[in-house]
Amino acid sequence: MSLSTSPLAEDILFHIGPIPISQPVVTTWGIMAALSFICWLGFRRPRVEAGTLQTVLEIIVEALEKQVKDIVRRDPWPFVPLLATLFIFLAVANLSAIVPGLKPPTGHIETPAALAALVFLSVHYFGIRTKGFAGYVRHYVKPSPLLLPLNILSEFTRVFSLMIRLFGNMMSHEFVIAIVVFLAGLFMPIPFMLLGVLIGIVQAYIFTVLAAVFIGAAIGSVEAG
Amino acid sequence: MTIDWWTFALQALNFLILVWLLKRLLYKPVKEIIAKRKALADEAFAEAEKREAEADVAKKQYEDGKAALAGERQALLKKLHEEADAERQATIKEAKAEAAKIIDDAKAAITKERGAALKDLQGEMSGLALDMAAGLIKRADLDIPQSAFLERIDAHLKTLPKAEMESLRADLTEEGAELTVVTAQALKAAEKKQWLSRLQAHMPGVETVAFKTRADILGGAELHAPHAVIRFTWADQLAKAREAMSGDDHA
């Protein structure tokens, strides 16, 4: 990346046919491979008396399942694959910034945008599946039909804010680290990197919780925000 | 800022693939393990409840048994106390009876010993008194004439029943029969002659009379026939007095 080009521009690493493969996509594949391997390693022989890795994975999944249950206030397992994967992927993707040479996929707008778009679609999917199409659509005219435009607008704005919040935090953190490294040398960014760990986990949590709240509102468990 | 739609689409696809992968590799096994663990826990709880119920039953049986045992123990203790009390009472009664018997025996023995001692003492006293009397008689040198004793014997022969007198005379007629007069002091010739004449008056067949001296008769005289003796001596009187004293004690 040179100063003459936009720091937000995608780094195209290679092409598969007509499809350009950018750096965030490759990083995401690496994260997917690592997560799949760890999960396979932890549960290749699942036992009631769990080993260390299995125990850690179970604790993470059960904590997320409990968190989701507290928000949607019903059986959480239909929502756990989406929401738990969202948190795990975002946490790992955000923390990938601490690995030298890696850039977090969430620091590029396409990844938060894709995740936000999936959350947007999931909200409507779970809402319609739970309430039926008519029942789900009816909530847009509540408490008054006059609020229909605002309700529709809020559907897009809240997803947009979800995307921008994550992208802004991670991108700005990446920029801050780059600037500090440029100005102060190699060891000065370490406190900022530690702060980046906190920011990465907090942002993953916020994104996941907000997605759970949106889904919960869609299925009628929580009031729409 | 522009969006690379290929990256956008690939990231969306990647995320969906990751959801599918984690669902297969993580959430499903975790859910199954949780369900299995829950089933095991439920089974363990059911087993624990069953064991608890069995323990409750066993505890109740134990407490019932304990209560029954306590009741039995109380009854046994009461019975033992009663038996011990009865045995104690019997022992006390027996001891009292034995003590009373010992006391009675002791009293009887004391009374007997006292009587015996008293008798011995009386015997000793009377013996002593008679010995003293005999000593006094011996030392008194009583001046009683022999004729007085002759008179007594003569009076006695006179009052003797006729059958006895005849028997006495018949005894003297036997071969070797002899009439003997025993005195404490030796008689003078005149006195012997007087004795002979008086005795011949009662027993005409008597030719001779033997005269002997015995100091132990103390005083007086004895007339010895073959089968009879007539005594008028101090020793005889003292012996009769001794017998009388001994006879009084037995009375």
**Span B16-70, pLDDT tens digits:** 999 999 999 999 999 999 999 899 999 999 999 999 999 999 999 999 999 999 9
Q: Is the same domain home to B125 and B244?
A: no
pLDDT at residue B139 above 80?
no
Contact between A112 and A106 under an 8 Å Cβ cutoff? The reply is yes
Best mutation target among A11, A31, A43, A170 (most B Cβ atoms within 10 Å) is A43
Contact between A12 and A21 under an 8 Å Cβ cutoff? The reply is yes
To the nearest whole Å, the CA of B66 is away from the closest chain A CA by 43
The answer to whether B45 contacts chain A (CB < 8 Å) is no
Best mutation target among B17, B25, B43 (most A Cβ atoms within 10 Å) is B25
Last residue of a domain, one of B118, B141, B164: B141
Q: Closest by alpha carbon to B229, among B186, B187, B181, B189?
A: B181
Give the per-residue pLDDT at A8: 61
* φ, ψ for residue B66, nearest 5 deg: -65, -45
Q: Is the same domain home to B124 and B147?
A: no
Residues of chain A below pLDDT 50: 1-4, 224-225
Closest partner CB to A85 (pick from B8, B11, B22): B22
Give the per-residue pLDDT at B93: 95
Q: Tell me whether residues A110 and B7 touch, CB distance under 8 A.
A: yes
Residue B230 pLDDT level (bands cut at 50, 70, 90): confident
* φ, ψ for residue A43, nearest 5 deg: -125, 25
Give the per-residue pLDDT at A222: 62
Q: Tell me whether residues A81 and B29 touch, CB distance under 8 A.
A: no
Section B234-247 average pLDDT? 80
Percent of chain B past pLDDT 90, that is, above it, reads: 42
The answer to whether position A224 is within a domain reads no
Q: Is the same domain home to B137 and B162?
A: no
The answer to whether B38 contacts chain A (CB < 8 Å) is no
Q: Tell me whether residues B36 and A48 touch, CB distance under 8 A.
A: yes
The answer to whether position A6 is within a domain reads no
B-chain residues near A122 (CB < 8 A): none
Q: Is the same domain home to B130 and B152?
A: no
Q: Is the same domain home to B30 and B133?
A: yes
Q: Tell me whether residues B16 and A118 touch, CB distance under 8 A.
A: yes
Find the domain containing B68 and state its range. 1-141
The answer to whether position A120 is within a domain reads yes
Section B142-153 average pLDDT? 80
Q: Tell me whether residues A62 and B31 touch, CB distance under 8 A.
A: no
Q: Is the same domain home to B107 and B47?
A: yes
CA pair distance A53, B47, nearest whole angstrom? 30
E strands of chain A, at which residues? 12-16, 19-22
C-alpha to C-alpha distances, A125 to A3, A136, A215, B152, nearest whole angstrom: 43, 10, 9, 177
Q: Is the same domain home to B137 and B34?
A: yes
What is this model's ipTM?
0.91
Give the per-residue pLDDT at A69: 95
Q: Is the same domain home to B18 and B116?
A: yes
Burial of A80 (0-12, 13-18, 19+ CB in 10 A): buried
Q: Is the same domain home to B109 and B181?
A: no
Sequence-distant (6+) residues with CB within 8 A of B195 are B150, B181, B187, B209, B211
The answer to whether position A37 is within a domain reads yes
The answer to whether position A4 is within a domain reads no
Q: Kindly report whether the peptide bond that precedes residue A143 is cis, defined as omega within 30 degrees of 0.
A: yes
Q: Is the same domain home to B210 and B159?
A: yes
The answer to whether position A225 is within a domain reads no
Nearest-CA residue of chain B relative to A45?
B29
The answer to whether position A115 is within a domain reads yes
Q: Is the same domain home to B137 and B149?
A: no
pLDDT digits (tens, 9 = 90+) for A122-167: 999 999 999 999 999 988 888 888 889 998 999 999 999 999 999 9
* φ, ψ for residue A79, nearest 5 deg: -100, -15
B-chain residues near A6 (CB < 8 A): 1
CA pair distance A182, A186, nearest whole angstrom? 9
Find the domain containing A167 and state its range. 12-218
In 10 A of CB B164, how many CB atoms? 11
Last residue of a domain, one of B141, B168, B190: B141
Domain count, chain B: 2
CA pair distance B115, B127, nearest whole angstrom? 17
Q: Tell me whether residues B21 and A84 touch, CB distance under 8 A.
A: no
Residue B207 pLDDT level (bands cut at 50, 70, 90): confident
Domain count, chain A: 1
Last residue of a domain, one of B111, B141, B171: B141
Q: Is the same domain home to B103 and B194?
A: no
Nearest-CA residue of chain A relative to B38?
A48
